[in-house]
């Protein structure tokens, strides 16, 4: 019974631990914008989770600046670096579905760089790069989500920390998975061992019974057999 319990437990935790690791998803392609534009920094948690009660932060990675902070169920503008004041839009409706997308209005050239979305309690984070180009240098086709065409060289874009969020989630999975796997193996082995022992016991019991039956049916022959064996 214990083994069955372990197996059920490990199957349950398999489902829970693996999918229970919330990942923050950011675009891998740089987000391009023209100087003065409003730029969108997409970020959402996968699987979706209501983040109303959680802290969510956006920061400029290389400058260690808080761009936007959501704390204690409200916008926490006090923590925000002054230059982003009155320029950020954060949708509280989206937050209930794990959407922590941020918008920054009138971006400047020096705001090109890596930005990170971070939900500390879930250890979920991801980073994306913003590239701001001078006015008139972004073709209309590239406004929005289309980033397939040629783009200006990203000279002052640092690529550090871009994989940070994924690494955290991966590490959690690497710790969780072997543990769960070991538990599963122990459970399954125990189950099998029990099954095998039972089979052996039954086999032996069956043999014993057959032997007894044999002895009853043909006592002389078995006697002879026993003697010849001695």
Ligand X SMILES: *[C@@H]1O[C@H](CO)[C@@H](O)[C@H](O)[C@H]1NC(C)=O
Query: Based on CB atoms, which residue is closest to ligand X, 115 or 180?
Result: 115
Query: Based on CB atoms, which residue is closest to ligand X, 10 or 128?
Result: 128
Shortest distance (Å) from residue 105 CB to ligand X: 11
Query: Based on CB atoms, which residue is closest to ligand X, 94 or 206?
Result: 94
What are the strands, taking DSSP E only, across 21-64? 23-25, 31-34, 39-41, 44-46, 56-60
Is residue 218 near ligand X by the rule CB under 6 A? no
Residue 113 CA, chain-centre distance (Å), reads 25
Query: Based on CB atoms, which residue is closest to ligand X, 91 or 137?
Result: 91
Label the pairing between strands 74-75 and 31-34. unpaired
Where in 38-77 is the site for ligand X (CB under 6 A)? Answer: 44
Nearest to 70 by CA among 83, 50, 62, 61: 50
Where do runs of H (alpha helix) occur along 38-163? 92-95
Judge contact between 130 and 66, C-beta under 8 A.
no
Shortest distance (Å) from residue 31 CB to ligand X: 13
Shortest distance (Å) from residue 24 CB to ligand X: 12
Buried b (16+ CB within 10 A) or exposed e, 186-205: ebeeeeeeeeeeeeeeeeee
Shortest distance (Å) from residue 101 CB to ligand X: 4
Where in 100-159 is the site for ligand X (CB under 6 A)? Answer: 101
CA geometry: angle at 27 spanning 23 and 28, to 5°? 100
Shortest distance (Å) from residue 46 CB to ligand X: 9
Judge contact between 146 and 81, C-beta under 8 A.
no
Write the binding mask 70 to 99 for ligand X: x where contact by CB under 6 A, - elsewhere: ------------x--xx----x--x----x
Q: Counting runs of H as helices and runs of E as strands, what totals does the chain give?
A: 4, 11
Query: Based on CB atoms, which residue is closest to ligand X, 47 or 219?
Result: 47
Shortest distance (Å) from residue 94 CB to ligand X: 4
Q: Which residues bind ligand X (CB under 6 A)?
A: 44, 82, 85-86, 91, 94, 99, 101
């Amino acid at each position: 019974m214990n083994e069955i319990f372990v197996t059920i437990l490990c199957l349950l935790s398999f489902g829970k631990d693996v999918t229970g690791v919330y990942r923050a998803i950011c675009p891998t392609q740089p987000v391009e914008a023209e100087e003065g534009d409003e730029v969108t920094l997409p970020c959402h948690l996968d699987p979706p989770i209501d983040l109303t009660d959680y802290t969510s932060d956006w920061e400029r990675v290389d400058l260690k600046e808080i761009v936007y902070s959501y704390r204690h169920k409200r916008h926490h503008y006090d923590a925000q670096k002054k230059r982003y004041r009155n320029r950020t839009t954060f949708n509280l409706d989206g937050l209930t579905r794990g959407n922590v997308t941020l918008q920054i209005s009138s971006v400047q050239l020096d705001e090109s760089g890596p930005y990170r979305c971070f939900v500390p309690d879930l250890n979920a984070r991801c980073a994306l790069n913003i590239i701001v180009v001078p006015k008139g240098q972004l073709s209309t086709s590239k406004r929005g989500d289309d980033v397939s065409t040629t783009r200006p060289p990203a000279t002052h874009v640092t690529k550090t920390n871009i994989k940070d969020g994924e690494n955290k989630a991966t590490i959690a999975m690497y710790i969780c998975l072997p543990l769960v796997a070991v538990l599963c193996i122990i459970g399954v082995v125990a189950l099998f061992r029990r099954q095998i022992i039972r089979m052996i016991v039954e086999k032996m019991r069956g043999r014993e019974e057959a032997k007894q039956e044999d002895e009853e049916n043909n006592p002389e022959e078995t006697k002879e057999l026993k003697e010849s064996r001695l």
